Amino acid sequence: MPNLIAKSALFGRAPLTLSGTTLAEAQIGPITSVAAFRGKLAKVKKVLGGFPAPNTVSGNLIWTGPEQAFVLGQAPDLSGLAAVTDQTGGWAALRLSGPLAADTLMRLYPLDLRAAHFPKDTCARAPLGHMQSILIAEETGFLILIFRSMARTAWHEIETALQTLTARSSAEI
Amino acid sequence: MRIAGKGLIDRTKPVTFTFDGKAYSGFQGDTLASALMANDVRLVGRSFKYHRPRGILTAGPEEPNAMVEVLDGGSQSPNTRATVQEIYDGMAAQSQNRWPSLRYDLLSINDLAAPFLSAGFYYKTFMWPRAFWEALYEPIIRRAAGLGRLKRQIETASYEKAFAFCDLLVIGSGPAGLMAALTAARAGADVILAEQDSLMGGRLLSDGGTLGAPWVEATLTELRALPNVRLMPRTTVVGAYDQGTYAALERVGLHRPAAPHLPRECFWRIVAGQAILATGALERPIAFENNDRPGIMLASAALSYLNRFGVVPGQKVTLFANNDNARHAARQLMAAGVQVAAILDSRADASSVEDCPVYLNAAVTDTQGRHGLTQISGTHAGGAFQIDTDCLLMSGGWNPLVNIACHQNARPLWREDIAAFVPQSGMVPGLHAAGAANGAFSTQSALREGADAAVQALAALGRSATAPDLPQAEDAPYRLQPLWAVPGKGRAWLDFANDVTVKDVKLAAQEGYTSVEHMKRYTTQGMAPDQGKNSNVSALAVLADATGRGIAETGTTTFRAPFTPVSVGAMGAGGQGAGFAPQRYMTSDQASRDRGAPMVEAGLWYRPSYFPKPGETTWRQSCDREVLMVRSAVGVADVSTLGKIDIQGPDAARFLDFVYTNTFSTLPVGRVRYGLMLREDGFVLDDGTTARLGENHYLMTTTTAAAGQVMRHLDFVHQAYCPTWQVRFISVTESWAQFAVAGPLAKMLLNALLDERIEDFPFMTHAEVSVEGVKARLFRISFSGEEGYEIAVPTAYGEALFRDLLAKAETLGGGAYGMEALNVMRIEKGFITHAEIHGRITAFDIGLGKMVAAKKDCIGKAASQRPGLHGPEREQMVGLRPLTKTEIGAGAHLFNTGDKVERVNDQGYVTSVCWSPVLESYLGLAFLKDGRARHGQRVRLVDHMRKTDVLCEVTDPVFLDPEGAKLRA
Amino acid sequence: MRLTCPLCGPRDRREFYYSGTEDYLNRPPEGAPIEAWDDMLHLRTNPAGVTKDLWYHETGCGSWLLVTRNTVTHAVLATELVAARKGGAA
């Protein structure tokens, strides 16, 4: 048992709800990156029981780049087939859900995030403002993975966009 | 004056506002211009150069005269067009470019000086003496000219930016735009309809035709009910960019009192599969003497004020026009009970049948009225005339609003039959012009073109659509006879906003500025906030006439985005304050702040500068103490910001040999090696240590500054030169929190925390360890010159480990050290950072030429060996010690003693300096010509900024422990 | 401006880092004369028309792209992955 206390990126930060839309830090457990070596993708696929197509999520596998995916959880033994790297601590996870989720993120992402164009189980490597991120569409909103050190900035940007949209809707004449 | 029963304003909602401090009232739905007109305020502004009294010329965003400042909470918006600004309760507006008041403006003296203020005045007058340029001329010109003022305070209002995507963007919601949107919407396309006005409908709301507001409302009701349609009122599309990207500015909070978080404007980037340009047309003024008085306006504007706002601009109105179309204004004003004194038609063959006197072959040649029009005079078929009138409507025909179609530098086509420029297809890929914007001026033809354009645009997207049945609307032919300027000697304005007259344009032509682009710059025509929307075509017609060329041959100037002015705040939305750049925080951030450490930016990271103790009043005291602490006991520093790249694969070793100058395939597992990376052009890219974690597994460290750049470089080398190699890499910078533990007691401190003590742990080795039950990586490396370790734990444990390390270090007489101490210690040891490897430095320059392995190829090797990148002519890294205890600074230049301090004698420059509390001296790292051969010599260090001039001894760059005994202890 | 990443689809220009000419793909072999390096590193055509250059999908998937575009019309004619291109380094 570790004697050190582990803290998440936004430890102690309470969720924020505006206009029925909630921003909260998510605890998603271990993240393992799997990057197949040249010519080994088919074998990796076999071991993992599948591999997500670009821009998609498949079960606990999130596509993150050329022949590369994040496994939410531990990866099985892939030695000789893929580079396997623990990414758990490197990412902060934010979940934004509710009716204004897509509009809020379309202030920050240069992507069409409307449900018809970015449905559940779609994902994208794309910038949130100036920050690299991984964006995942869920049932009622989005999961955002952002470099841990930038979690506060990401929160601030999303919060500001949500506040702005809320002010807009209450100002409609 | 308000007219009963007219307009789309809400008369149940009165609104109170002030203009120049005086309170007025209007109604919900009024613009400032219509509300002022309802209150019989005619004088609204002063002109740019001559300070001429000005009123309202138009009813739209092209307004050149009625520009005001709107004060809103902490904000002051200059050059706000009164014809666009909606009023709201408590709004405060004021006129601009006048002193002391709008009515009595002392600078109207400029008007009398007009003969001297002609085109090219500035160029001709403010030539010499040279010394006067900045001292006298510029301040004077600035004070006398110009329109709105800035508040000179930080903008605190909020702005928003947003992205949108659609199949079809329809720009403008007049008959063409509405019909296009309807056609595409019914076909199921994803449609955005953008309209600059607060109400959708365009001219259908203004021109009083048969197809008016009820049809607009019915159409909008259908569109609103469709989920595939987004209506964006108050949104001006301001630019067309590549691959279907359009910029649009939405007025969000400008028409209501400020509220928390409510943005003033939103800057949209709309990505559209196809787009329809349905921006309509602008009526043209006619140039005649004194055509700029308050009370003289465009005929279409008067129609707008009447039908849209229920106000009329005068009690006794006259119309001066060159076309049939403009007569609607006179007819409708008469129908509303306004007296029309006369219609003055410039054509000889036009109809003279109206319910008011009509004079053919007419020309207005002068006007009277100091602060507002009282009388006009001129000639017509029957001779000279004078008419008492308080409002003169003018119409010189129509200019299609082609601007957005021209934003990618294609030129519009001149159509002689309508005497106007129209867009050509394909000027902006995927943009189709329709309706008046395309030169189809009748309502019926606009409806038809809108529907057709939508069918065509959808076909380009591979979708089919059918044009709806068109409603019946006006379809009268548009007949006009061009009239740009009435001949005369006096000043006849073309560009109201910049005070450019017909004479100015003719003078420009006379003086050789015959190209339209030269005329523009010489006269400043078209360079005001309206960007020549009211004057460009007339001005080039006058130029064409003056030069004896046709209009088509003369051509237009370049149309550039934005179509209407965009505030910098809106363009920079999201970039204020914390939005400027991401802020990266280390896990130790709070612990450092708890100890009072001032944080310093290192790239995007925030790192502790030093950790002050009670009694320390300057950073130097803290820094000196921290240096001595590390050198005598133990110090702890968070070094998590260094880039860490995990590299795996059977070809990992081969790959590292290719990107590093030195060899990593020979590095034993468990060892660490310093590596140097070059750019392909032979200069140093980055340096750092790389550990071999396993046979096919390495961990590369980059500098904080170059982490992103190195990742990009590795990706390039792999994907471009060796994509088949079995190697993958990923950043693990954020996965590990890493702390330097340095000093003679470093091992003792670590052993107090490690689950298994370390004993023999040689320099440049590493091992997997466990610290307080957590898996960790331990490296024996040093950036301080002391016995040094770096211990890395998964990031989540970073804060806890840092706090524990500090607590135990303090027990040993050690503690935390910051960036300042870190920097001092690395300079004492001659270790480089990007202050040294700044992009113009070779391996040879820093004394690492031998690190470029002879036995293998690597990136940058070939170029690094070319002449000029090595040899005595290069500036080489050396140490500097001032002979006296004078403070020296980075950026200072070096000279040989006896040489004159001039650029040609420059011997090099200083990159890093510090005060060494150990050596009790200032130290510098510098690049000096042939420096390695000059150890022991003296150079003169000159710093003009800090007024330093001091002799220094040239030394080896390693000042302390050159054998590295402490490092390897 | 928009570029189509073969993996991520059409994306805004802000996601990409511009690196310059495709010449960088043609790295001279070890021992090539210095002139060959000079060509690759420093000598550039500046076409008014079709050109090929390198873009990095920096805030996206990390792929390097070879983009064919027209400097006059701004049309983007093709994008391909550098790692997958035909005739590329083996």
Domain CATH number, residue B899: 2.40.30.110
Cβ C62–A66 below 8 Å, yes or no? yes
Residue B535 in any domain: the answer is yes
Cβ A117–B797 below 8 Å, yes or no? no
- Rounded to the nearest angstrom, the minimum Cα separation between A158 and chain B is 11
- The per-residue pLDDT for range B300-331, each reduced to its tens digit, is 999 999 999 999 999 999 999 999 999 999 99
**CATH code of A124's domain:** 3.30.1360.120
Total domain count, chain A: 2
Are residues B375 and B303 located together in one domain of the fold?
A: yes
- The per-residue pLDDT for range C17-28, each reduced to its tens digit, is 999 999 999 999
Chains adjacent to C (≥3 CB pairs closer than 8 angstroms)? A, B
Which residue from C60, C48, C87, A154 is spatially nearest to B723, judged by alpha carbons? C87
- Radius of gyration (C-alpha) of chain C in whole angstroms: 14
Residue B474 in any domain: the answer is no
Q: CB-hemisphere CA count at 13 Å for B535?
A: 35
Give the pLDDT of residue B142.
65
**CATH code of B777's domain:** 3.30.1360.120
Give the domain range for residue B304.
285-395
Are residues A66 and A96 located together in one domain of the fold?
A: no
Total domain count, chain B: 6
Residue B227 in any domain: the answer is yes
Residue B152 in any domain: the answer is no
Cβ B857–C64 below 8 Å, yes or no? no
- Rounded to the nearest angstrom, the minimum Cα separation between C78 and chain A is 19
Are residues A118 and A165 located together in one domain of the fold?
A: yes
Report the alpha-carbon distance of residue B140 to residue B497 in Å, rounded. Answer: 20
What mean pLDDT is reported for chain B?
Answer: 95
Q: What DSSP letter does each residue of A85-130 carry, written as one string?
A: EE-GGGEEEEEEESTTHHHHHTTTSSS--STTTS-TTBEEEEEETT
Query: For residue A92, what is the nearest residue in chain B, using CA coordinates?
Result: B734
Identity at A133, one-letter amino acid code: S
Report the alpha-carbon distance of residue B547 to residue B567 in Å, rounded. Answer: 38
Spell out which residues of chain C touch residue A33, defining contact as CB-CB under 8 Å. none
Spell out which residues of chain B touch residue A130, defining contact as CB-CB under 8 Å. 581-582
Give the pLDDT of residue B364.
98
Residue A24 in any domain: the answer is no
Q: Which of B163, B680, B723 sits opposite C88 (nearest CB)?
A: B723
Give the pLDDT of residue C90.
40
Q: What DSSP letter does each residue of B303-335 carry, written as one string?
A: HHHHHHHSB-S-SEEEEEESBSTTHHHHHHHHH
Domains of chain C: 2-84 (3.30.2270.10)
Are residues A132 and A152 located together in one domain of the fold?
A: yes
Q: What is the 3-state secondary structure (H, E, C) of A137-164?
A: ECCCEEEEEEEHHHHHHHHHHHHHHHHH
Q: Which of C8, C58, C63 sits opposite A124 (nearest CB)?
A: C8
- The per-residue pLDDT for range B537-596, each reduced to its tens digit, is 999 999 999 999 999 999 999 999 999 999 999 999 999 888 899 999 999 999 999 999
Query: For residue A112, what is the nearest residue in chain C, using CA coordinates?
Result: C11
Are residues B307 and B263 located together in one domain of the fold?
A: no
Give the pLDDT of residue C48.
97
Are residues B198 and B250 located together in one domain of the fold?
A: yes
Are residues A162 and A96 located together in one domain of the fold?
A: yes
Residue B89 in any domain: the answer is no
Cβ C8–A55 below 8 Å, yes or no? yes
Which residue from A93, A129, A9 is spatially nearest to B589, judged by alpha carbons? A9
Give the pLDDT of residue B969.
83
Are residues A58 and A99 located together in one domain of the fold?
A: no
Report, as ranges of residue numbers, the positions in chain B whose pLDDT lies below 70.
122, 125, 127, 141-146
Are residues A62 and A43 located together in one domain of the fold?
A: yes
β-partners of residue A122 are: A56
Query: For residue C82, what is the nearest residue in chain A, using CA coordinates?
Result: A66
Interface subset of C 52-71, CB within 8 angstroms of A? 57-63
Give the pLDDT of residue B145.
62
Query: For residue A159, what is the nearest residue in chain B, using CA coordinates?
Result: B261
Residue A150 in any domain: the answer is yes
Give the pLDDT of residue C89.
45
Which letter does DSSP use for residue B287 in this model? B
Are residues A98 and A163 located together in one domain of the fold?
A: yes
Q: Positive or negative CA dihedral for C18, C23, C29, C31?
A: negative
Ranges A53-57, A71-75, B240-244, B891-895: which has the least confidence: A71-75
Q: Which of B263, B646, B773 sits opposite A2 (nearest CB)?
A: B773
Give percent of chain A above pLDDT 90: 95
Are residues B756 and B669 located together in one domain of the fold?
A: no
Residue A22 in any domain: the answer is no
Give the pLDDT of residue A56.
98
Look at residue B419 and give its three-state secondary structure: coil
Phi, psi torsion values for B15, nearest 5 degrees: -130, 135
Give the pLDDT of residue B143.
64
CB-based contact, B801 to chain A, within 8 Å: yes
Are residues B189 and B271 located together in one domain of the fold?
A: yes
Are residues B508 and B597 located together in one domain of the fold?
A: no
Entry pTM: 0.96
Give the pLDDT of residue B157.
87
Measured CA distances, B528 to B250, B399, B520, B554 (Å): 22, 18, 11, 21
Give the domain range for residue A61.
31-86
Look at residue B602 and give its three-state secondary structure: strand
Is the complex ipTM more than 0.90?
yes
Are residues A108 and A94 located together in one domain of the fold?
A: yes
Cβ B648–A83 below 8 Å, yes or no? yes
Residue B153 in any domain: the answer is no
Are residues B391 and B328 located together in one domain of the fold?
A: yes
